[in-house]
Amino acid sequence: MAVTDLNLAGAQQVADEISGAAYELDVRSDESIQAAVTAAEADLGPVDALINNAGYDEWGFFTKTDPDLWDRVLAVNLRGVIAVTHAVLPGMQERRRGRIVNTASEAGRVGSSGSAIYSAAKAGVIGFTVAASWGAAIRRQLDFPADVMAWILSWVLLSGIFLAFAWWLLPHAASHWTEVAPGAALVGVAVILLGVFNWLILYPWLSEKEETYGVLGVAAGLLFGFFLIGRTIELSASLNAVLAKRRSA
């Protein structure tokens, strides 16, 4: 494993902890990037995984910033991601394997007070990652774990709550089932469609581990939807049988 940093001593300290190798790399310099990639591949072999996580910011209200600050922040947070990816992606394509993880930020989606240029850079990382992944057939992974996991966990919890509520409520609604049944069936269908829609929206942003939780979350929602529909059919059939007996009597 190669550890790169502008601070070679710091990179070496980390490399020693993980039995890796350290290389000096300045993401603002194309020459430095190429030299580091060449040295790492000569020592360790082809680059099969790249993590772009170099970051830099200078806090300040936008009107108080200047073009030099813009260039410094954009050079590290955006151009560096593009340049290092450009240096290693062709080799991955030739070998038909590889992973690239680009570290973005919620600032790139919703902005961050006092960090307008940093927010713009991270928004650029998000857009670059999505666009490049379509062209290179690579998995998109951005650092939205808190946001993604909040969606998944809320889906699991809401599905469990609704399932428990439905398990208790539906049998007690038999006396008014003709009024309740259409709504219950529609809710079941809506839950199923919502689960599928959420999965389609979330899937491109999930890592392999998050995909596992996502499958569980969506599965819970789908089971709840099918449960509602099944109980609707079951109780409707039971009610119809009771009503038929009463009519025959």
> What is the C-alpha to C-alpha distance for residues 70 and 103, in angstroms, rounded to an integer?
19
Mark whether 118 is an active-site residue.
Answer: yes
58 burial level (CB within 10 Å; 0-12, 13-18, 19+):
middle
Nearest partner of 2 among 103, 121, 84, judged by Cα:
84
Cβ pair 155, 215 in contact under 8 A: no
> What is the C-alpha to C-alpha distance for residues 69 and 75, in angstroms, rounded to an integer?
10
6 burial level (CB within 10 Å; 0-12, 13-18, 19+):
middle
Among the listed residues 23, 118, 203, 213, the single catalytic one is: 118
Catalytic residues: 118
